[in-house]
Structure 1
Amino acid sequence: MTGSGSGSSSGTRWIVLVVKVPAEPSRHRVAVWRELRKIGALSLGQGVWAVPDVPVFGAGIARALELTERAGGEAVSLAASGRGAQDGRRLREMFTAARSADWAEFLADCGKFEAELAKEIRIAKFTLAELEEEEQSLERLRRWHRDLTARDVFGAPEVSAATERLKGCVAACEDYAERVFAALHQVPEQRAPEEGRPAPEEGRPAPEEGRSAPEEGRSAPEEGRSAPEEGRPAPEEGRSAPEQGRPTPEEGRPTPEEGKPAPEKRRPAPGEESGR
């Protein structure tokens, strides 16, 4: 059901929604509430919402009515205005105050974005993955700024500051992107050591400190290895001389007289034995 009222001196007309959704299940009531909050509807009481009667809110109002009917609830939309100039101004002030709160939240998120970029630069975290994440955050800020601008019908005081702050975020992200590409294009010799990683001169000991010099760490041939005269016995010591270790031919071999048996005694011939 749609009602109408006389226009106020401000010339602003409003759409007032009276929505009633069953308490259970609660998800339907929450879905309608989120949709109305998303489009920037001004809450006038429990189940009562108002937005300026301009085309930017038409699609959101239609979705809220559809969600209400789907949940088995009831909704009434009214075209209205204040009874006098004071009422119209009051509605406008309330709506603009809600938009100021949205812009304040946006400015706070811009500050968080800039602080995050400053941190990445301070710790020299120049990677494509981090750049992609920061660009996604910047895109979210851009969409948010676009939506707030669309619903800020009367122009809150924070609009100019928010627009300039977004430009600053864009410039900061572009600067970070240039730093990332510069770091990725450096050759290893030109790349400065990252913070937290010691430089080669600090983390690695110098050859004179960490490694023993050849004279210290390794034994010199004269010390570590036995000289032929010390480690190996001289032929005179380790091997027996022919005179000491081996018997001479005269000692080791028997003489013909010793090795052979003595000749047997000659037996007498038969003639001799008979003559005896």
Structure 2
Amino acid sequence: MSEDEAWLLISVSTAGAAATLRVQVWRKLRSLGALYLQQSVCVLPARDKVVREVRRLADRVRHQGGQARVLRIAFTDPAERAQIVAEMNAARDDEYGEVLERLPAFRQELETERARGRASYAEVEESEADLDRFRTWLGKIATRDYFDAEGGAAARQAVAEAAAELETFEAEAMSIEAPAEPGPARPARRLRAVDEQ
């Protein structure tokens, strides 16, 4: 069975285990991009990294008093597989959409600071931290975007445009806070008198 055909069917029960285990399981499976078919049962593509992470999670669940079952499966109906992929892509597109919804506020903040004449190193530093959060968020979504959801390209482009806008803002801040030093003074040219030839 090829990597594109193999899937993991994951069933987890944390009944009888510490309450925190349920949250850990939910967070881990969500971070991997699991698609829930029903409560406590989800699927993920059987990519190498995913298989390792799910095995570790299942071991942790068992060691902490829960139950976990991980089965390698293949869809026999291509339409069913296509539906699962479409649902996973829709979930990623929703996440990419959140990035796109929040980026205008980042760009507006730059414009507001520019309009106030507050292009400064402190503002650049704060905005860089915000942009790093967007990049990290985008990277996490991309990690679980197994089937190249359509929204990914638009989100990556929007983050790149925000980065370019921040570069421009930084250049403005630098020109205000550290204006270019004048070059060395040039010696005055002596003008020759017309009759000196």
Fold shared, TM-score > 0.5 on shorter chain: yes
Choose which of 106, 111, 124 in structure 1 pairs with 2:117: 124
Q: Considering fraction of residues, name the structure with more strand.
A: 2
Where do 5+ consecutive residues of structure 2 fail to align? 181-197
Choose which of 150, 158, 168 in structure 2 pairs with 1:165: 158
1:50 corresponding residue in structure 2: 43
- Compute the displacement of 1:118 (Å): 1.6
User: What SS is found at the alignment partner of 1:139?
Assistant: helix
Matches within 5 A, 1:97-176: 97-176=90-169
Contact 1:99 1:156 in 2 (8 A): yes
Distance 2:52 2:108 in 1: 36
| Matched AA of 2:38 | G
Distance 2:156 2:139 in 1: 10
User: What SS is found at the alignment partner of 1:124?
Assistant: coil
Where do 5+ consecutive residues of structure 1 fail to align? 1-5, 188-276
Residues 163 and 181 of structure 1: CA distance in aligned 2, closer, same or farther (over 3 Å): same
Contact 1:53 1:79 in 2 (8 A): yes
Contact 1:13 1:81 in 2 (8 A): yes
Contact 1:56 1:151 in 2 (8 A): no
What are the superposed Cα offsets for residues 59-105 of structure 1, whole Å, 9 maximum, x if unpaired? 43244224423431010001112231121111111111111111111
CA RMSD across the alignment: 2.2
1:21 corresponding residue in structure 2: 14
- Compute the displacement of 1:112 (Å): 2.2
- Compute the displacement of 1:52 (Å): 0.8
Residues 24 and 70 of structure 1: CA distance in aligned 2, closer, same or farther (over 3 Å): closer
The percentage of aligned residue pairs carrying the same residue is: 26
What are the superposed Cα offsets for residues 219-254 of structure 1, whole Å, 9 maximum, x if unpaired? xxxxxxxxxxxxxxxxxxxxxxxxxxxxxxxxxxxx
User: What SS is found at the alignment partner of 1:152?
Assistant: coil
Q: How many residues align?
A: 179
- Compute the displacement of 1:24 (Å): 6.1
Distance 1:77 1:42 in 2: 14
- Compute the displacement of 1:113 (Å): 1.6
Residues 179 and 62 of structure 1: CA distance in aligned 2, closer, same or farther (over 3 Å): farther
Distance 2:106 2:176 in 1: 21
1:227 corresponding residue in structure 2: none
Distance 1:78 1:24 in 2: 22
Q: TM-score, normalised by structure 2?
A: 0.81
1:31 is the counterpart of 2:24: yes
Choose which of 65, 87, 92 in structure 1 pairs with 2:80: 87
1:96 is the counterpart of 2:85: no
